[in-house]
Amino acid sequence: MAQRGQAGRRGQDVRSDLWVGIEIRDQGGIEIALTSRVEPYYGERIREQTRSILDALQIADARVEIEDQGALPFVIAARIEAAARAAGAADGNARPERSVPLPPPSPRDRLRRSRLYLPGAEPKFLVNAGLHEPDAIILDLEDSVHPDQKDGARLVVRNALRCVDFGRAERMVRINQLPSGLLDLEEVVPEGPDVILIPKVEDPSQVAAVDRRVEECCVRAGTSRAVWLMPILESALGVEHALEIARASDRVCALTIGLEDLTADLGVAKTEEGDESIYARRRVANAAHAAGVEAIDSVYGDVGNLDGLRSWAVRSRAMGFEGMGCVHPRQIRPIHETFAPSRAEIDRALQVVAAFRDAESKGHTVVSLGTKMIDPPVVARAVRLVDRAKAMGLAVEEANAPESEP
C-alpha cells in the first residue's frame, strides 16, 4: 500500500523554500525526482541529504518529488521530514545535526526591548534575522502560520533552533493556543528555546499547564536549561487576570499584551494613539511590576511609519513597559533608542548609586543627594537602570559621590 504525503510550498513566487511530495512504497528503493533552482551548485547534495533523511526515518522504499526554490539545508530537512510524517512515517529521528552551538541561557530579567516576529512558515526571513540585532527573535507558530502549515512550520522552527545563528538575540517561540500548543512544546523545548510565548492566555491554569509540559519535556531531554514563559494577554478577561497569570509559574519572565485580539474582544477600533487600550495596557504593566516580571508592550503594525512607532514607544515606556514587538527589522532601532534611558536619566541614576555607595561606606543609614533624601526603592531603580544602560551598550561611567553640601 502506497502512502502519500506532502509538505512545503510550490509556485513561482516561492523563494528559499521547497515543496516535497513523498510516496512510501513497499519495494523499489528510493527514487528522487528533483527540480531545483540551485541544481548546478547543490543538486547532488540535495539528493544525498534526501537519502540520508529517509534513512534516518527508516524509509527504504519511496518516490520523492522535490521542487526546490533555493532552500537552505535545514529547511529541506524540515520539509522532507514533514512530508514523510504526512505519508505516515512515524519512526526515526531526522533532526539535523546541531550546527550552531546553544547560546548561554537567558537570565530571567534579560533586556527585552525588541522582539522580532518571524513567521515559522516563511524560512527565508530566518537566516539573517539575527543580523539586525533585536534583543529577541520570535519564531512564530501561531497567527502568522496558516492552519494547513502548522505541522511543517513546527519542524522548520525546530530545525532553525538547531541550525540558524541568531547572534545575540534571545530565541523565543510563540506556540499555538492550547491544547495544540502543547504539541509545539514537545517539538521545540528539547532544542533549548529561551522563552515560550503563550498566546491568548486568560487563566493562570493555562500557564501552569505549559509550565508542566515544559518541565516534562526538559526532564525527558535531560536538560535543566532555563526556559522562560511570556504569557500574551489578548482578551478583556486575560487582562483582568493579569496578576494571577504573572504569578502562575516561576518560569514567567514577562507579561505582554496583544492588541489586535484585545480590541476585537472589546469591540472597539484600534487607533493610532491607542486610547482604547490604555486601561488594559496600564493594568498589564501594573500587574507585571507587581509580580516582579517585565512588562512588554504589543507591536506597532505600520512598518512605514517610524515616527508613529516612536511616539507609541515613548508613551509605552512612560506607562512602565520595557519593550515592544517588531514586525519588521527596521522597527528595531527606533525601539531601542526610545526604550533606552536618556543621558540625563543615566547621569541621575549614577549619582544616586554613587551616593548610596558613599553612604554605605560611611555607615550612614540615610542616603541623600544634594538636599534630597533618597528612598531605598529609588536606589533600587537607579541600580537597575544603570545595569540596563550597560546591557544596552550605552557608555556608562561610574560617577563619584557628589561633594556634600558645605
Which residues of this protein are in contact with other proteins, per CB under 8 A?
A: 15-16, 37-38, 40-45, 49, 69-73, 99, 124, 127-128, 131-132, 303, 328-330
Return the SS3 of 230.
strand
Query: Quick one: 2 or 38, whose CB is closer to other proteins?
Result: 38
Query: Quick one: 116 or 209, whose CB is closer to other proteins?
Result: 116
Amino acid present at 161: L
Angstrom distance (rounded) from CA 147 to CA 250: 31
* Residues 228 and 196 sit within 8 Å (Cβ to Cβ): yes
Query: Quick one: 168 or 212, whose CB is closer to other proteins?
Result: 168
Nearest C-alpha neighbor of 241 from the set 264, 257, 227 = 257
Rg (CA), the chain: 25
Query: Quick one: 118 or 153, whose CB is closer to other proteins?
Result: 118
Alpha-helix residue ranges (DSSP H) falling in 131-178: 150-163
* Residues 194 and 227 sit within 8 Å (Cβ to Cβ): yes
For residue 163, the minimal CB distance to other proteins (Å) is 9
For residue 23, the minimal CB distance to other proteins (Å) is 26
For residue 117, the minimal CB distance to other proteins (Å) is 12
For residue 76, the minimal CB distance to other proteins (Å) is 9
Tell me if the bond preceding 377 is cis, omega within 30° of 0: no
Query: Quick one: 131 or 221, whose CB is closer to other proteins?
Result: 131
Amino acid present at 131: L
Buried b (16+ CB within 10 A) or exposed e, 156-180: bbbbbbbbbebeebbbbbbbbebee
Query: Quick one: 124 or 150, whose CB is closer to other proteins?
Result: 124
* Residues 160 and 126 sit within 8 Å (Cβ to Cβ): yes
Query: Quick one: 42 or 321, whose CB is closer to other proteins?
Result: 42
Query: Quick one: 22 or 71, whose CB is closer to other proteins?
Result: 71
For residue 139, the minimal CB distance to other proteins (Å) is 16
Return the SS3 of 12.
coil
For residue 261, the minimal CB distance to other proteins (Å) is 26
Query: Quick one: 60 or 100, whose CB is closer to other proteins?
Result: 100
For residue 72, the minimal CB distance to other proteins (Å) is 6
Amino acid present at 174: R
For residue 35, the minimal CB distance to other proteins (Å) is 14
Query: Quick one: 28 or 393, whose CB is closer to other proteins?
Result: 393
Cα 35 vs. chain centroid, distance in angstroms? Answer: 34
Q: Which residues contact 245 (CB under 8 A, 6 or more apart)?
A: 201, 203, 204, 207, 231, 233, 238, 252, 255, 287
Alpha-helix residue ranges (DSSP H) falling in 17-124: 39-56, 73-86
Nearest C-alpha neighbor of 157 from the set 194, 199, 188 = 188
Across 185-342, the runs of DSSP E, i.e. the strands, are 195-198, 228-233, 254-257, 294-299, 323-326
Nearest C-alpha neighbor of 243 from the set 208, 284, 278, 202 = 284
